[in-house]
């Protein structure tokens, strides 16, 4: 019987693992240079933790089980509930603002498709304990910083901003009854996945008045500062709060000061499950053929309180290794994942193989990667092995080593080769090699 990896999961062969490590290494670098520190949590949590955040409907989207004590548990599908639980437990002792990041392995029981698997790795950036729009702007800047790190320009990726407060004010101005607003939020959240006709049919099911539907259509595609200003004017004329517009405007101003505004703009087309978010929301999109969200987040000021903690401001975003790999491939930004080693040690005669092992050990003690051939064979074949491993240098131990106490060292990039006394070489294995 032959087995395959479970549906929606991946096997990471060395080349795949190298790409994963490269992406996660970039996540580490960008997080740390922006002042974030790493945390982690358990791979499974109480099922109720996710019910608190997303309601009972979330259960069908999770891999969940009962443990031997009958407790309902779920493999984590996201990291924010774990973060909220951990912060709630120590919120009074943690210095503010809390700037944390994580790179968890997550699982979701959903239909696999391009950019979305059942098992994946996710980068989470969160700022907790800071109410000002500066925290929203810094989160977005970190995402921009990451795209720049990947070599992606504003012509290849963009970040769109909106706000739950703007949508709430718009519904108020359109006089959408409060009992219908949850359905409208749900419809707006699905809009980017639906055709214009399908979206119209969805609104019809909510039984909105023609004027209400026209208001949503009129401002539903507003974008840029011009679009933001038009909505603010309409809200003022309707005697409705423009606080959401002002928050987004402040975020955009901060992004300009960060030097990141060329990647970002206001867009009413971004919704991101507004029932969960409490303020600014944002999504990143590839601008090539992929044209899908490759990351996003927003402000979620009520979640920690819902987890049993105090009312604490919070904002964050997430992206996954799956969508980032797709984005890199689309714009030909994939890194080289070819394996390389520092040294390959060769025995010119089987009698000196114990010296090969000793040299290999000494090089490894110095933090250098070093290996050798398992088979005793000619120097030429061993050189081919060294080349296949992309060795930076080759050390050759000749058959007369007991007399000479010297080795030949070849730089594979320059082809320079020199004979060095072994002790001197081991004292400085990275010395410059000049042909002798």
From 13, 6, 25, select the one nearest 321 (Cα to Cα). 25
Mean pLDDT of 60-68: 92
CATH (one of 3.40.50.2000, 3.40.50.800, 1.20.1250.20, 3.30.420.40) for 341-427? 3.40.50.800
User: In the structure encoding, which two tokens stand for residue 242, read together?
Assistant: 């423009």
Flag whether pLDDT at 44 surpasses 60. yes
Summarised one tens digit per residue, pLDDT across range 161-197 is 999 999 999 999 999 888 888 888 777 777 766 777 8
How many residues belong to the chain?
436
Mean predicted confidence (pLDDT) in 285-314: 88
Residue 316 has pLDDT above 60, yes or no: yes
Work out the pLDDT band at 379, boundaries 50, 70, 90: very high
Question: Mean pLDDT, to the nearest integer, of 129-149?
Answer: 97
List pLDDT tens digits, range 331-345: 999 998 888 999 999
DSSP three-state, residue 185 = helix
Residue ranges covered by each domain of the chain: 341-427
pLDDT of residue 290: 73
- pLDDT, tens digit, for every residue of 68-118? 999 999 999 999 999 999 999 999 899 999 999 999 999 999 888 887 899
| Encoded tokens for 34 | 């922006």
- Give the per-residue pLDDT at 275: 62
Tokens describing residue 228? 């933001």
For the segment 211-229, the average pLDDT, to the nearest whole number, is 87
Exposure string over 159-188, b if 16+ CB within 10 A, otherwise e: bbbbbbbbbbbbbbbbebeeeebebbbebb
Q: pTM, whole model, 2 decimals? A: 0.90
Number of H helices, E strands in the chain: 16, 17
Instruction: Indicate the SS3 state at residue 14.
Output: helix
Q: Does position 138 have pLDDT exceeding 90, yes or no? A: yes
Lowest mean pLDDT among 36-45, 212-221, 279-288, 419-428: 212-221
DSSP string, 359-377: HHHHHHHTT--EEE-SS--
pLDDT at 60: 86
Q: Are 315 and 280 in contact (CB under 8 A)?
A: yes
In whole angstroms, how large is the CA radius of gyration of the chain? 28
Tokens of 66: 């009962």
Q: How confident is the model at residue 434 (pLDDT cuts 50, 70, 90)?
A: confident
pLDDT tens column, 390-408 = 999 999 999 999 999 999 9
Distance between CA 26 and CA 336 in Å, rounded?
A: 14
Contact criterion met (CB below 8 Å) for 343 and 368: yes
- Measured between alpha carbons, how far is 202 from 145 in angstroms, rounded to an integer? 38
Q: Examine the pLDDT at 436 and tell me if it is beyond 70.
A: no
Q: What is the pLDDT of residue 315?
A: 97
pLDDT of 213 > 90? The answer is: no
Contact predicate 245/253, CB 8 Å: no
Residue 202 burial by CB count (10 A; 0-12/13-18/19+): exposed, middle or buried?
Answer: middle
* Residue where the block lists tokens 């963009």: 158
Q: What is the DSSP string of 169-182?
A: HHHHHTT--GGGHH
Query: What's the confidence (pLDDT) of residue 292?
Result: 80
- Res 55 pLDDT > 90: no
Per-residue pLDDT band for 306 (boundaries 50, 70, 90) equals confident
């Amino acid at each position: 019987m032959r087995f395959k990896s479970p549906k929606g999961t991946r096997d990471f062969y060395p080349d795949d693992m190298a790409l994963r490590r490269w992406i996660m290494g970039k996540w580490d670098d960008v997080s740390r240079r922006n002042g974030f520190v790493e945390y982690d949590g358990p791979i499974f949590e109480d099922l109720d933790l996710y019910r608190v955040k997303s309601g009972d409907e979330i259960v069908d989207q999770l891999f969940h089980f009962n443990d031997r004590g009958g407790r309902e548990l779920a493999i984590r599908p996201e990291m924010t509930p774990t973060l909220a639980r951990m912060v709630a437990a120590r919120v009074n002792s943690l210095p503010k603002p809390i700037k944390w990041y994580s790179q968890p392995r997550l699982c979701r029981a959903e239909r696999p498709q391009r950019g979305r698997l059942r098992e994946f790795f996710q980068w989470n950036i969160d700022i907790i304990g800071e109410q000002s729009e500066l925290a929203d702007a810094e989160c977005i800047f970190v995402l921009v910083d990451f795209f720049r790190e990947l070599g992606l320009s504003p012509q290849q990726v963009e970040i769109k901003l909106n706000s739950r407060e703007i949508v709430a004010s718009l519904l108020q101005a359109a006089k959408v009854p409060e009992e219908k607003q949850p359905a409208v939020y749900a419809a707006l959240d699905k809009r980017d996945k639906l055709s214009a006709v399908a979206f119209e049919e969805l609104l019809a099911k909510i039984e909105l008045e023609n004027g209400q539907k026209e208001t949503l259509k009129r401002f539903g595609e507003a974008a840029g500062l011009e679009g933001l200003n038009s909505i603010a004017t309409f809200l003022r004329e309707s005697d409705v709060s423009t606080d959401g517009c002002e928050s987004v405007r402040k975020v955009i101003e901060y992004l300009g000061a960060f030097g990141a505004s060329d990647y970002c703009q206001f867009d009413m087309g971004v919704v991101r499950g507004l029932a969960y978010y409490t303020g600014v929301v944002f999504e990143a999109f590839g601008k090539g053929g992929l044209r899908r969200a490759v990351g996003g987040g927003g402000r979620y000021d009520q979640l920690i309180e819902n987890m049993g903690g105090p009312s604490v401001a919070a904002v964050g975003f997430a992206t996954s290794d799956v969508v980032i790999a797709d984005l890199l491939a689309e714009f030909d930004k994939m890194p080289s994942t070819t394996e390389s080693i520092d040294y390959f040690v060769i025995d010119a005669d089987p009698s000196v193989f114990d010296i090969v092992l000793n040299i290999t050990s000494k090089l490894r003690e110095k933090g250098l990667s070093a290996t050798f051939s398992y088979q005793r064979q000619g120097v030429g074949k061993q050189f081919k092995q060294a080349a296949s491993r992309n060795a930076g240098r080759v050390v050759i131990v000749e058959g007369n080593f007991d007399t000479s106490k010297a080795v030949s060292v070849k730089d594979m990039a320059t082809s320079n080769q020199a004979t060095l006394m072994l002790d001197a070489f081991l004292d400085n294995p990275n010395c410059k090699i000049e042909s002798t």
